[in-house]
Every structure is written in C-alpha cells, then in structure tokens.
Structure 1
Amino acid sequence: MKKSIIFCAFLAIFCSCSNDNIKVITTDYQGKWELYKMSGRLTNSETTGTAMEWQEYYSLNTDGSFIKSRTRNGVKTEISGSYIISELQEESFLELTYKQDSEIIGSCYGNNKEELTILPNSRLSSTWKNCDGPTLEYEKTN
C-alpha cells in the first residue's frame, strides 16, 4: 500500500509538469547558417528567399573559425574570422571577430565584430537591428 501511494504521488508530480517553458537551443553550432528572413523598421518590409536584398550565410567550423559570404547584385563577397560562444543574462550569443574590415559586417560599433543571438528555436538573429540595421534571421542548413 505504501509503495502504491508513493508511486501515485510520483506519477501526479511527473504528469503535472509542463514543458511549455522548455527552450530548445542547439549546441551544435558548426555548419552552414543561411539567411532566411530579412526585415526593416517599416511595416510589411519582411522578405524571404530570392526576394531578399542579398543572400548570405555563415559557415562555422569546429576550430572556432568561420566564413561569412554575401551575394548581392551578382557579386559575392567573403570574409573570415573566429567566433566564441558567450552568455549574458540568460541569453547565448555567437561573438564573431573578423580579420579585416568589410562592408558586409553587420555591427553597431564598427570594430570588426558582430554578434548573433542564439534563439530558442535553434535559429540565429543578428544584433545589428539594435542600431537601426535590418533584422536578419538565419537557420542551420547542415
């Protein structure tokens, strides 16, 4: 009888737990992250796919290096650097540091650094939007 009561109590506690608050965040950052959505500050400015102003991706390597590639008006630009993963107030970020300056670095500070917020849905979002840049979201493709 005692075992039955303990089992029922355990079962009640286990079944009452909700996974609504569970965040699914990827820990497998290596691979290709492609730009899939872009929007500006204006209403109805969201674009996806080939309608976006440019196509872009990050290729993150296991050794902490990366390549960023952007194709705009048929011209492909690539730059490289290194990345680390950091956390601030329960949010995770990829901090990208570039070897040289480039117009394709989406940064508020102009210091050859870029940050991407790691979203709960295993997507990345550029922090460039915080200083009037476009909202750029990426999803992992491999």
Structure 2
Amino acid sequence: MKTYFYIIAILIGFSSCSSGKEEKLEPVDFSIDQYPMEFVLTEFSTMMVDSQVTGEDLPYREKYIFREDLTFTKSRTENGETLQLEGEYSRVSMSDENYFKLNYDLTNDLIESCSSDDTEHLIIDSPMKIRGTANACDYPTKTYERVK
C-alpha cells in the first residue's frame, strides 16, 4: 500500500512542477500553391572547401518571391546595397524532381546558372524548401526556406 502511495505522490509531484500550459508552436505547412511565396537563403555550402555557412554568418541576404501571376523577384542585400531582378517562372519536372524554372528579364551576375542563357533552376524539395542547382558548375549549393 505504501508503494502505491509513493507512486501517486511522485506522479502528483511531477505534474505540479509544470508552470502552466506550455504553448506548442506548430510548424506552418504551406501549400506550393499559396501565394505569394517568399523563400529566404538559410544556408550555402561549397564542395571545394567543404564548408557550410548559415544564419548570421551568411555574407549576404538573398530571397525569392513567387507570385500567382507566374512572375518572381530575386533580391540580394550585401553591404547595405540591394540588387533586385525580376522575371517569369514555371514549374517543370525533370529526372523525377520538381523545379522552378526562372526566366530573367535582364542578364546579371545575380543569375546562378550553368547555361549561358538568362535562366535559373531551383529544385523544389518541399513546399517549405528549395535549393539551387548551379553547384554543378562550381557555384555554392544554396538552400532557401519559406517564410511566407
């Protein structure tokens, strides 16, 4: 009987240690068809140096905004200056993966592509994550996470 009393006392003690209700933050699960979609750069890594850079250590801030009318904006802020490009995009499937195919209005160094035209491809890993494909031609592998 004493054993049961101790078990109950211990259980009551553990349950009373809580300081009230804990709020659980549920992850937001966006649909790939909810607009606008905003993805921000969260990580890049290079194969040559085998390094991974995240968060505040990133040398610049970069983001994509995809709109329902199939237009997008890519912007990069570095040293207080922001460069912004626009264009049109489509969703395509190649080699069992889904991509955003970006067609830019202007030629610029901000475009990371292995081809000589003004297109860029981003792999859609999930509705919450995309990544660049230009690592095949020595660009860093960039990962972007959805914030909106």
> Which TM-score band (shorter chain)?
0.7 to 0.9
The reply to whether residue 58 of structure 1 matches residue 50 of structure 2 is no
Where do 1:7-46 residues align within 5 Å? 26-28=31-33, 30=35, 31-41=37-47, 42-43=49-50, 45-46=51-52
Amino acid of the structure 1 residue aligned with 2:84: E
- Give 1:74's aligned residue: 80
Amino acid of the structure 2 residue aligned with 1:141: V
Which residue among 91, 104, 125 is the counterpart of 2:131? 125
Task: Work out the CA distance in 1 between the residues paired with 2:101 and 2:59.
Answer: 24
Query: Is the 8 Å Cα contact of residues 32 and 127 (structure 2) preserved in structure 1?
Result: no
Which residue among 111, 123, 134 is the counterpart of 1:105? 111
Cα RMSD of the aligned pairs, angstroms, is 1.9
Shift of 1:29: 6.1
Provide the identity percentage.
Answer: 29
Q: Structure 1 residues 131, 71: closer, same or farther in 2, change over 3 A?
A: same
Which residue among 48, 55, 66 is the counterpart of 2:54? 48
Q: What is the count of residue pairs matched by the alignment?
A: 118
| Matched position secondary structure for 2:33 | coil
Amino acid of the structure 1 residue aligned with 2:65: S
Shift of 1:130: 1.1
Shift of 1:25: 9.7
Task: Work out the CA distance in 1 between the residues paired with 2:84 and 2:39.
Answer: 14
> Alpha-carbon deviations, 1:21-64, whole Å to 9, x = none?
xxx99533631110000111112x11112211211000000000
Q: Structure 1 residues 134, 123: closer, same or farther in 2, change over 3 A?
A: same
Q: TM-score, normalised by structure 1?
A: 0.77
Ranges in structure 2 where 5+ consecutive residues have no aligned partner: 1-28
Where do 1:81-92 residues align within 5 Å? 81-92=87-98
